[in-house]
Structure 1
Amino acid sequence: MTTERLALDDIVAIDVHAHVHRAIDAHEHEHAGSEAMGEYFGIGTMPTYTVPQLADYYRERKMMAVVFTVDSVSQSGKDPEPANEEIARLAAENSDVLIPFASIDPSRGKAGVEQARRLITEFGVRGFKFHPSAQGFYPNDRMAYPLYEVIEEHGLIALFHTGQTGVGAGQPGGGGIRLKYANPLHVDDVAVDFPGMDIILAHPSFPWQDEALSVATHKPRVYIDLSGWSPKYFPPQLVQYANTLLKHKMLFGSDFPVLTPERWMRDFDQLPIKDEVRPLILKDNAARLFGLS
């Protein structure tokens, strides 16, 4: 276990997409759906990590990571586990390697907006993760706009899952998950209506990759994280844009623990990415976006 705190110069990469699936008082593999997700990604039962364990994991690799849970209470009927507050509190204790995001299901309405304000002002979260398919809403649904108003007001980041998802994959009816909500074109409206808010489109957006590239090219504060897919499966147009028009807006993300940073970076090394672009994607773009440099 590595306990020495790291400076930004020590950091070799910033992973903008890592999930916390276990509270500190929960048993390993207690996270619902860990077996199904592990099967989908071909890794067996998906391992689960607490925030301190994630901190150790990334510190040993000299990386930073954005960490969050997913609140899908409108579909699951359950509060997220671990709670946003636990993630933020423990991430603050490991601020050299962890950047806390929160997740609030837009269906929570005014209570969710109040929670967002409290998480920002009292717990120091740096952004919010939305999973439209798991939360059952279109990103441009006006129901979510009060949350976006709070995020924009505080100069924080909204991260949206886009494209197909491993959640519910292979289960009867896809576990009730509707893929239509995750078309990144719906986020284009959000970028128009909240021009002061930074937005990250998470994952190569299969089957809407061109839509994601179009939105990120057209809207100056929209970025793309490259998590959830091994880079060897990236479509050619994604690689092309990463090397050219969007080289300052592409972000390294793993989707840990279903894909490890080592696996992602090993396959990334095999892509025809320009030498001057690699450090932008792995660290520099995220450091600038998060105000670290």
Structure 2
Amino acid sequence: MNIQDLDAIDVHVHAEVSCRCPPDAFGREFDEAAEKYFKFHHRPTIPQTIEYYRERKIGFVMFTVDSEANMGRRRIPNEEIAEAALQNPDIMIAFASIDPHKGKMGVREARRLIEDYQVKGFKFHPTTQGFFPNDALAYPLYEVIAEAGLPCIFHSGHSGIGTGLPGGGGLKLKYSNPIHLDDVAADFPDMKIIIAHPSWPWQDEALSVCLHKHNVHIDLSGWSPKYFPPQLVQYANTQLKDRVLFGSDFPLITPERWMKDFQEAGFRPELHQRILKDNAARVLGLA
């Protein structure tokens, strides 16, 4: 990936539709609730997403979310995403997602994906996967990731997944309080951690962890910037200017909408390129 040819790097893009596996109709109510919450309906394939981002000269990180143990839904294969990235290295980077409950089999898969498919990082969603990030069950996975020198993204804060369903669909928000990542950052000081999203209602916890642990970063995905908490913009403009990253949460939010609102959200103009591209390039090992 030649970052000089790109206008931005989006570190938070979801794989929504597999071209290899039929859709898993189990738990369709979660999809319907998310579509209502985020007000979106279009779910592109991986090739369609690649075309979309290439047209806009935006590099992107794509991943699935493996919540098979807690939600009982099949994931999109990590291999499908990784192979697409290998075929489109000018625009796409693949992260893998492995449910921490898979234990030693998950560790084996992580090693295989790193060695055979050259994945460049990992994605975790504590709420849908049903685990605290500082639970020892995940540490063998982190050890593999840290050994390979790769970053990992953790969902944080409120989740649109399950919002509006009875009992939130059984999903529990407590797992995604970013304070639990403080232990992980301390125990794996050489592993780059990205806290995904404005972490409402725990934004101050996320800022504190990021300020205290220099291996921690924050991606700005999942919200329009015009709704960002003021303290997030304040720290992005000052002490954390090198550790905030552009992310959209596509297709839930498009980069066009995000970037338009970003221009008017109070971020210092001289930091725009740093947030949109340079910080991500450094975290991803592209610069």
**With structure 2 as the length reference, what TM-score do the two structures score?**
0.96
Compute the displacement of 1:25 (Å). Answer: 3.8
| Partner Cα separation in structure 2 for residue 39 and residue 126 of structure 1 | 32
Q: Secondary structure at the match of 1:270?
A: coil
Aligned to 2:142: 148
Residue of structure 1 equivalent to 2:74? 79
Work out the CA distance in 1 between the residues paired with 2:32 and 2:22. Answer: 14
Secondary structure of 2:131's counterpart equals coil
Name the counterpart of 2:209.
215
- Residue aligned with 1:266, SS: helix
Matches of 1:125 and 1:261 in 2, distance apart? 23
Q: Name 1:3's counterpart in structure 2.
A: none
> Cα offset for 1:26?
5.5
The equivalent of 2:257 in structure 1 is: 263
- Output the CA distance in 2 between the equivalents of 1:26 and 1:84: 12
Is the CA contact 1:51–1:91 (under 8 Å) kept in the aligned structure 2?
no
Which residue, 50, 53, 57 being the options, matches 2:48? 53
Give the secondary-structure state (helix, strand or coil) at the position aligned to 1:116.
Answer: helix
> What is aligned with 1:287?
281
Within a 5 Å distance, the mapping from 1:1-293 to structure 2 comes to 7-25=2-20, 32=28, 33-43=30-40, 45=41, 47-80=42-75, 82-293=76-287
Looking at structure 1, the residues matched to 129 and 231 of structure 2 have their Cα atoms a distance apart, in angstroms, of 29
In 1, the alpha carbon distance for the partners of 2:22 and 2:116 equals 28
AA partner of residue 181 (structure 1): Y
Letter in 2 for 1:42: K
- 2 CA distance for matches of 1:166 and 1:59? 28
State which drifts further: 24-33 or 146-155: 24-33
- After superposition, the Cα gap between the structure-2 partners of 1:60 and 1:27, relative to the gap in structure 1 and judged at 3 Å, is farther
CA 1:243–1:35 in 2, change beyond 3 Å: closer, same or farther?
Answer: same
For residue 122 of structure 1, give the secondary structure of its aligned residue in structure 2: helix
TM-score normalized with structure 1 length: 0.94
The answer as to whether partners of 2:24 and 2:74 remain within 8 angstroms in 1 is no
* CA offset digits 1:172-226 (Å, max 9, x no partner): 1001110000000000000000011000000000000000000000001100000
Cα RMSD (Å): 1.5
Q: 1:266 to 1:156 in 2, by over 3 A?
A: same
Unaligned regions of 5+ residues in structure 2, if any?
none
Count of aligned positions: 285
Say whether the 8 Å CA contact 1:28–1:48 is kept in structure 2: no
CA distance in 2, matches of 1:9, 1:185: 36
Q: Partners of 1:102 and 1:73 in 2: how far apart?
A: 14
Residue pair 1:75, 1:134 contacting (<8 A) in 2 also? yes
- Deviation of residue 147 (structure 1)? 0.2
Change (3 A) 1:28 1:117: closer
CA–CA distance in structure 2, aligned partners of residues 150 and 28 of structure 1: 30
Aligned-residue offset at 1:21: 1.0
Could you say what secondary structure the match of 2:53 adopts? Answer: helix
Determine if contact 1:29/1:48 at 8 Å carries over to the other structure: no
TM-fit CA distance, 1:49: 2.0
Q: Deviation per CA, 1:135-173, whole angstroms, max 9, x where unpaired?
A: 000000000000000000000011100000110000010
Deviation at 1:28, TM superposition (A): 8.4
Is 2:83–2:117's contact at 8 Å kept on the other side of the alignment? yes
Matched residue of 2:270: which SS? coil
